Amino acid sequence: MTLNMLLSHLPALQVVVPLLAAPLCALLRPRHLAWAVATLTSWVCLLISLTLVAQVQAGGTLRYTFGGWPSPWGIEYVVDLLGAYVLLIVSLIAALVLPYARRSVEREIDPEHHSLFYTALLLCLCGLLGIVITGDAFNLFVFLEISSLSTYTLISFGRDRRALTASYQYLIMGTIGATFFLIGVGLLYVLTGTLNMADLAERIVPLAESRTLHTAFAFILVGVSLKLALFPLHLWLPNAYAHAPSVVSAFIASTATKVAVYVVVRFIFSLFGYRFAFDQMQLDWVLLPLAIIGIFTASVVAVFQENVKRMLAYSSLAQIGYMMLGISLDSVTGLTASLLHLFNHALMKGALFMALGAVFYRIGSVQLGQMAGLGRQMPWTLGAVVAGGLSLIGVPLTVGFISKWYLILAVIEQGWWILAALVLVTSLIALVYMWRVVETSYFQPRPAGAVIAGEAPLSLIAPTWLLVLANLYFGIDTGFTIDLAGSAAAALIGGEP
């Protein structure tokens, strides 16, 4: 098989490589071997994603049909700008989380479960990549289930017994979400007789008045909103993030909700069409208030959390609100801001959760009180927390600033000054909750009798700081991300039939 042929099969390999590496991991009993396979797989995935981005930028949308069945009948994988961009986010985070995982997993998970842990992690990666790359609505549901089921397992690996309840809670909510999504897809299938997204998009145009179509739209949107934890469907998220193993928190916080946001964007803009969604279904009247309430309440609740992971989980809810706010503005700038924030938020939350994982590695807790005085004992780890926090707040020269800047631009473009003020105020609330961590860890003495924590091992610090540096780099040289997000947004809104 020549290189050129290999390149033409990349869309399939993007999903097939982790899918086949996962059972391989389950067969490998020596746990370091399982880790090595998983890490190698994640790097191969990153390489494939980077190549796909380059291919799409050079030659436009890629299509890959499975089994030689032509597209409306067979399953088709489609990589357009948006898809390539989200694939890159997911595999980039995976490629950084897995080298980090070895030491952290050794500390937090029973040795006999290591192989299965990496199997579940790879399946989750496979599911997330599959959701993004597939061009088939039912296939998307299958991948949604693959990623969700493996996520429930991953969360239940948490050291704390509360991880089991958190996982169960997520299982119930997630299953309801997936069922709603499937009902919606079923209705679309009844209506049009096709599951291929591009085909669906064409066939539903004359059906805009159909009640069935409206119902399908509502079911799909509610189902995915459960998955992306849109206020008020967010109740599963804080527990899931807080009690999952550190590696899992870092991975799912920076990928799973992003992929769910991608699904919303894909269905609104590529499938239903944004004119249908916003003009006929008045989606902005639903999304906008929910996004605003979500941003505000989650930010305020975050201030009062004692568990820092839970605090960041609430902060994630607020960030999801920003993304939905951008989408509900129904403009190219707004969508650009949302897509930009997908990438940027993955960088900042990845860095923060990984730094907290390093704290947990040393002191076995992420309670705020236990972290008092850690700043001097773990300078690099807490340094990463501070840098990630600055990015979260949106200080200039970080990616957070770029996201907020574009979001505020988009809001002002609509003439909604109050909303722009709200974004600034909630950034200040982020400052409050991040400051609590900084204040406790730097300006309070280490409690008497507390363990003296050394710096975390290099294999934890290095990936964390790589993400921190990415936070700074993409905050200064914004060309790559803005170009990708901007042209993806323009293609989505301009590409309307």
Partner 1 sequence: MIKSDSKPRQVVRPVITRLLMPYILLFGLYVQFHGDFGPGGGFQAGVIFASGIILYALTFGVARARSLLPPDSLQPLAALGVLLYGAVGVASLFMDGHFLNYSVLSSDPVQGQHLGILLIELGVGITVTAVMVLVFFAFFGRDEEGEV
3 binds partner 1 (CB under 8 A): no
SS3 assignment, position 62: strand
Judged by CB under 8 A, the stretch of 5-13, 139-147, 161-169, 346-354 that binds partner 1 is: 5-13
| Cβ-contact 244, 155 below 8 angstroms | yes
In the complex, least distance from residue 17 CB atom to partner 1, rounded to whole angstroms:
10
Which is nearer to partner 1, 1 or 3 (by Cβ)?
Answer: 1
| Cβ-contact 76, 140 below 8 angstroms | no
In the complex, least distance from residue 304 CB atom to partner 1, rounded to whole angstroms:
39
| Cβ-contact 84, 53 below 8 angstroms | yes
Which is nearer to partner 1, 66 or 380 (by Cβ)?
Answer: 66
1 binds partner 1 (CB under 8 A): yes
| Cβ-contact 345, 403 below 8 angstroms | yes
Q: Which of residues 112-131 bind partner 1 (CB under 8 A)?
A: 119
| Residue 321 identity | G
157 binds partner 1 (CB under 8 A): no
| Residue 9 identity | H
Which is nearer to partner 1, 26 or 218 (by Cβ)?
Answer: 26
Site string for partner 1, 66-85 (x = CB under 8 A): xxx-----------------
3-state secondary structure string across 400-468: HHHHHHHHHHHHHHCCCHHHHHHHHHHHHHHHHHHHHHHHHHHHCCCCCCCCCCCCCCHHHHHHHHHHH
Judged by CB under 8 A, the stretch of 54-62, 65-73, 150-158, 252-260 that binds partner 1 is: 65-73
Closest by CA position to 252, among listed 267, 262, 237 = 237
Judged by CB under 8 A, the stretch of 8-16, 213-221, 262-270, 383-391 that binds partner 1 is: 8-16
In the complex, least distance from residue 463 CB atom to partner 1, rounded to whole angstroms:
28
Which is nearer to partner 1, 136 or 330 (by Cβ)?
Answer: 136
In the complex, least distance from residue 248 CB atom to partner 1, rounded to whole angstroms:
21
In the complex, least distance from residue 303 CB atom to partner 1, rounded to whole angstroms:
42
User: Residue 208: phi, psi to the nearest 5?
Assistant: -55, -25
My answer on whether omega of the bond before 232 falls inside 30° of 0, hence cis, is yes
| Cβ-contact 100, 47 below 8 angstroms | no
In the complex, least distance from residue 64 CB atom to partner 1, rounded to whole angstroms:
7
In eight-state DSSP terms, residue 455 is P
Give dist(CA 56, CA 477) in Å, integer: 21
In the complex, least distance from residue 19 CB atom to partner 1, rounded to whole angstroms:
6
Count of residues near partner 1 by CB under 8 A: 18
Give dist(CA 163, CA 16) in Å, integer: 30
Site string for partner 1, 22-61 (x = CB under 8 A): xxx-xx----------------------------------
Which is nearer to partner 1, 122 or 399 (by Cβ)?
Answer: 122
Q: Which of residues 128-147 bind partner 1 (CB under 8 A)?
A: none
Question: Roughly what angle, to the nearest 10 degrees, separates helices 332-363 and 246-265?
Answer: 170
Q: Which of 3, 5, 58, 452 binds partner 1 (CB under 8 A)?
A: 5
111 binds partner 1 (CB under 8 A): no
In eight-state DSSP terms, residue 447 is P
Q: Which of 51, 61, 65, 367 binds partner 1 (CB under 8 A)?
A: 65
12 binds partner 1 (CB under 8 A): yes
Q: Which of 3, 4, 16, 367 binds partner 1 (CB under 8 A)?
A: 16
Up-side HSE of residue 126: CA atoms within 13 Å toward CB? Answer: 25
Give dist(CA 94, CA 96) in Å, integer: 5
Which is nearer to partner 1, 6 or 190 (by Cβ)?
Answer: 6
Q: What share of the chain is helix, strand, coil (3-state, %, to 5)?
A: 80, 5, 15
Interior angle at CA 90, CA 201 and CA 433, nearest 5: 110
The pair of three-digit structure tokens given for residue 418, joined into one six-digit string = 């109050």
Q: Which of residues 159-198 bind partner 1 (CB under 8 A)?
A: none
> Applying CB under 8 A, which residues contact partner 1?
1, 5, 9, 12, 16, 19-20, 22-24, 26-27, 64-68, 119
